Structure 1
Amino acid sequence: MTTVICPYCFDRAPAARLPYRCLMLTTGVRGSSACQAERDDTWAEFMGPTVPPALRMRGPVFAPPRRVHGRRVTGSRADCPDCGVSTPVRVCRRCHSDFPSEYCDHDSRIIALVGAKASGKSTYVSVLVNELRHRVGVAYDASLAAMGSETQRRDQEMAEDLYDRLRLPDATRPAAMGFNDPLLYRLSLPSRSRFGHGSRHTTLVFFDAAGEDLKSAEAMDRYTQYLSAADGIILLVDPLQLGSVRDQLPPDDGPPLPVVETPPQQIAADLAAQLRAHGRGGARGRVGTPMAVALTKTDMLRSLVTPHTPMLRNATHRGGLLDEADRQAVHEEVRSLLEGWDSGALYRQLERDFADMSLFGLSALGAPPPAGAPADAPKSGPQPLRIEDPLLWLLGRRGLLPVRKPGRTTAKGAGA
């Protein structure tokens, strides 16, 4: 039986037990009028006090039918018991949030995206989605589609702002100002088996926590359910937050340095503490959730790294395979940099707290914003460096992408 994880409250439930929401349409199925909207206080209370009274009125929610004519119901639609109109809209039994079409048909992978304020989380997601649809999508013969009207709207806005208007995304609003909807995408990858070639679909859920909500363990508790449900965590670390890096950067006319926020070492420690408190710690106290730690804005570090560093060139993804040797080379390069910048304090913290961790270096834009317009993208548009590496590593850990091991020329494909 398929288990569905709500992308809003992260409740787990068997797909067959999920309620439905009436569409409130008139079809004359039973010669009656359409159902009337009802107050959905369950949904409104979850969304918070900012929901206007009018929006609390929604289509009636009804339980899934157990049996029809003696046979168990397993389809993706159900008839409303009052008006008889068929509806495909499934809702979470805990928070009554509507699920997009097809959400309950595929396995889901919840990707937690965290980082201090100004670490570039919103820009990272915008560029990552574009690369998955183009350069990276071509390499892996993959496609990415936004799921649900809200993600489709925000997806279009992100693309128009960043790639057409060259405007960077606004900062994520803090949880105190309202609920931040996750972004839902369907990732389709080729699948090969003894029965032939086909496609394998996975739902990716990106949840972006505002930097203000990570300043202490108490504030971060708002996202505990989200973090404990995650299949993988991407922690973005802005190297410009580190004093040793700021001191080494050459003075020029570039954009001003960001205000120093919560130290990444503290964020990592708080993440681990929250996850251990909710059962994600192992026998030795280390968290089992895979942790991808990525230095952002590596384009700003060119004067601090060797000219031939693998961080400043994209992986080839030759043959549609993840190159493990390439990942290890980047990991060691970033580890060496951290040892020089903070005596390895962040790396030691991560190594103690997370059993499955890898370091990455990336740049969402490939160049800093214009000095006189820090809210703008470079005039050439985003030219990302290794933006996809953390996500692909997490997908590879879950067996969704084939991996080329060091010393091997082939690898077993996902779904083989």
Structure 2
Amino acid sequence: MQDIADPFADFLVSMQALWANVLGFISGVVEPGWRQNQVIIIVVLAFVAWASHARSGAVLQNWVRSHEGWEKWQLRVVVQIKRRLGLIWLLLMLAVTYGIMQSVTWPSRSYLVGVAAELVFAWIFIAFAAQLVRNRPMRRIVTWSLWVYATLYLLDLSKDAAAFLDGLALELGDFRLSVLSLIVAIVVIGLLATMARIASQATAGTIRRNEDISPSMQVLAVKGVQLLTYGIAFYMGVNAVGIDLTGLAVLSGAIGVGLGFGLQKVVSNLVSGVIILLDKSIKPGDVISLGETFGWIQTLGARYASVVTRDGKEYLIPNEDLITGQVVNWSHSNDFVRLDIFFGTAYGDDPHLVRKLAIAAAASVDRVLVDKAPVCHIVGFGDSSVDYILRFWIQDPTGGLTNIRGNVYLALWNSFQENNISIPFPQREVRMLEDT
């Protein structure tokens, strides 16, 4: 009973201390004097800054539009500045007002103006620094948490607020999780994750520029670096706030069993992705066919592969399908691809001349390799035509297969028309019988 009463009593004491500080500040503002005058000055300057925000934002936008050739990062900076022009104007006016009041009156009579300037500066700095956090929900949590902490710290209320938040805790045996430790953990992990992202991006850039590493091993190395850096950031963040992970061992084990059944496909795709990267059967840039999908590998992810087709569609194929399904890799060991087209000519045409014309027509088409000379063979005698197969090689399957087949067919048509080679087609005769 004593263990339960002590945290509750500490919580009440922290609440009373925090409330007493708030009441003391409000009573000082309500009573006429320099504290009230400073609050009025701050409110007036805030209104002027708000009124200047829209006008100066339009001027800044027009100025940026009149200058072309801006980089993306420069435009992002301008957007962030435009959003916070009101705070920037307020900071400048507070700083000027504080400097004037410090020189013409007692320092105590400009104390609140100086605190307000420090608050606005902290808010602006935090807003710009938080842009390093790419995840939007995490960025908002980090931003608001730092804003609240900076405000309480500069108002000398941080200790009372920390005691209040630390009193709101969940205790299970030796495990204790307070609201304060949870907030600190989120902020610290967010900052460390941002540092890990910057470090992993720098490392990934170095790996991708190394031509001695194959593309598949580059993807695997980048994923490994990301997993390592983010894992270290999470572990350091949890330890930095004093959370004992051993207390969550039983709970995490139960959750892991449940996730194991629910995420079988996800785990299978993750393992399949690692296998694909290790055996180098598929790598970025390869041209593959899987079922009705034909395109080239754009990226290899941890869960899926991005395949872009000739018509601009992007298919996200699970890694498991690439392992278990029959995949045609047109550029696995080399980029040479042999294509076959079939055609027929009339029985009255010389087959030797037809073969010669077909080979010459295929060789005249761009993208058809001349050093791997096309060949043409008779494959059968049909009902109304002599059937041939024409085979030729290309070395750029990423350029498309249908278009090169079409160009070869068109070259055959032109050559046969010039040399009076006919392409037969079925003809039917309809006879009208008279009534008998």
Q: TM-score range by the shorter chain?
A: under 0.3
- Answer 1 or 2: higher relative contact order, Cα 8 Å, separation at least 6: 1
Task: Please identify the structure whose Cα radius of gyration is greater.
Answer: 2
How high is the TM-score relative to the length of structure 2?
0.19
Taking structure 1 as the reference length, the TM-score comes to 0.20
Question: As a proportion of its length, which structure holds more helix?
Answer: 2
